[in-house]
């Protein structure tokens, strides 16, 4: 009887931890979205755009940091990240490049079937033109705003908090899908006239799946951060360095290019993901 009572007590304790962690993770997600939107709205007219982007990403991550601190005793994996061997760091950078190829393939593939509004592409070009650096410091500042800050802050929320909490509650497979869906949801873009555009959501969902799996496979948040930063930095550099004339008409679809980038990106990512291993913890 005493043994059964002890088991029941442990089950109730585990259930309470799961419920509390899910509540705090949901609160951190909702609070982070609100804080990010509020920060952007408050500062966008008064501060330089790159600084606004950095501060709004920090606002997104802050509730997750607080939640992870409150859950530190019951879920220590939220703040203990195994280090990576130097070779694994280089492999993770290469993995980020493979994710970039895969992302272009996704965009090209969906473009074959449905196209974004022309004004959306023009807005995208305008944003990168605004962020285009004019000096060495400008390059560091722009990369920090468009790649480093999102990689650190978004990974802290989605793969640092949500993925482990969800895995503890519903298992790895469902956790990966749910965290990827929540990541996709923040990639709904707003046009100047208030129209919502969902063109980046499929790409973000697929990337969210890959990054969440990488987080669980390696037991560390460093690989998703490095791969995420590499993907964003590569996209920015390609757009800025290979500048095109402002879009006046939508280009033709390129299905063969889409297929090629999907196949290459997926194949390389699969190989690299198997090779990335965290360094053994020091004694």
Where does the pLDDT of residue 61 fall: very low under 50, low under 70, confident under 90, or very high at 90 and above?
very high
Instruction: Please name the residue that has the structure tokens 């053994």.
Output: 280
Look at residue 15 in the predicted model and tell me its pLDDT: 83
Domains of the chain, residue spans = 84-275
Tell if the pTM clears 0.85, that is, is over it.
yes
Q: How does pLDDT run across 227-280, given as a tens digit for each residue?
A: 999 999 999 998 888 766 656 677 788 888 888 889 999 999 999 988 886 555
pLDDT at 210 over 50: yes
Look at residue 242 in the predicted model and tell me its pLDDT: 78
pLDDT at 192 over 80: no
Radius of gyration, CA atoms only, the chain = 20
Q: What b-and-e string marks burial along 130-168, b requiring 16 or more CB atoms within 10 Å of the CB?
A: ebeeeeeeeeebbbbbbbbbbbbbbbbbbbbbbbbbbbb
* Contacting residues for 157 by C-beta, under 8 A, at least 6 apart: 28, 29, 32, 60, 61, 63, 64
Between CA 201 and CA 207 the distance in angstroms is 10
Tally of CA atoms within 13 A in the half-sphere of 154 that contains its CB? 29
User: Is-contact 25 67, C-beta < 8 A?
Assistant: yes
Residue 157 CA: distances (Å) to CA of 89, 145, 185, 250, 278? 21, 17, 13, 35, 21
Mean pLDDT of the chain: 88
Candidates 120, 87, 273, 282; CA nearest to 191 is 120
* Across 120-140, average pLDDT: 85
* Across 148-167, average pLDDT: 96
Look at residue 182 in the predicted model and tell me its pLDDT: 97
Candidates 207, 264, 254, 252; CA nearest to 108 is 254
Between CA 58 and CA 153 the distance in angstroms is 6
In terms of DSSP H, where are the helices of 158-254?
A: 163-170, 172-185, 201-218, 222-241
């Amino acid at each position: 009887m005493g043994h059964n009572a002890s088991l029941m007590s442990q089950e109730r304790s585990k259930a309470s931890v799961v419920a509390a962690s899910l509540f705090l993770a949901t609160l951190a997600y909702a609070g982070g979205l609100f804080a990010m939107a509020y920060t952007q709205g408050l500062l966008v007219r008064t501060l330089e755009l790159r600084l606004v982007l950095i501060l709004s990403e920090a606002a997104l991550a802050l509730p997750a940091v607080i939640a992870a601190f409150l859950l530190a005793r019951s879920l220590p994996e939220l703040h203990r990240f195994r280090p990576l061997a130097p070779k694994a760091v280089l492999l993770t950078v290469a993995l980020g490049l493979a994710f970039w190829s895969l992302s272009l393939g996704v965009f090209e593939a969906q473009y074959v079937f449905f196209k974004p509004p022309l004004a959306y592409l023009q807005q995208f070009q305008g944003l990168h033109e605004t962020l285009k650096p004019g000096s060495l410091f400008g390059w560091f500042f722009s990369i920090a705003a468009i790649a480093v800050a999102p990689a650190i802050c978004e990974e802290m929320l989605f793969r640092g908090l949500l993925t482990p909490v969800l895995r503890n509650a519903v298992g790895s497979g469902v956790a990966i899908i749910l965290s990827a869906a929540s990541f996709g949801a923040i990639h709904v873009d707003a046009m100047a006239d208030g129209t919502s555009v969902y063109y980046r959501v499929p790409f973000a969902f697929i990337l969210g799946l890959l990054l969440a799996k990488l987080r669980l496979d390696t037991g560390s948040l460093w690989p998703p951060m490095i791969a995420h930063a590499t993907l964003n930095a590569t996209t920015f550099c390609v757009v800025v360095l290979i500048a095109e004339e402002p879009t006046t008409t939508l280009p033709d679809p390129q299905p063969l290019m889409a297929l090629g980038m999907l196949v290459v990106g997926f194949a390389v990512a699969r190989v690299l993901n198997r090779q990335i291993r965290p360094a053994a913890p020091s004694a």
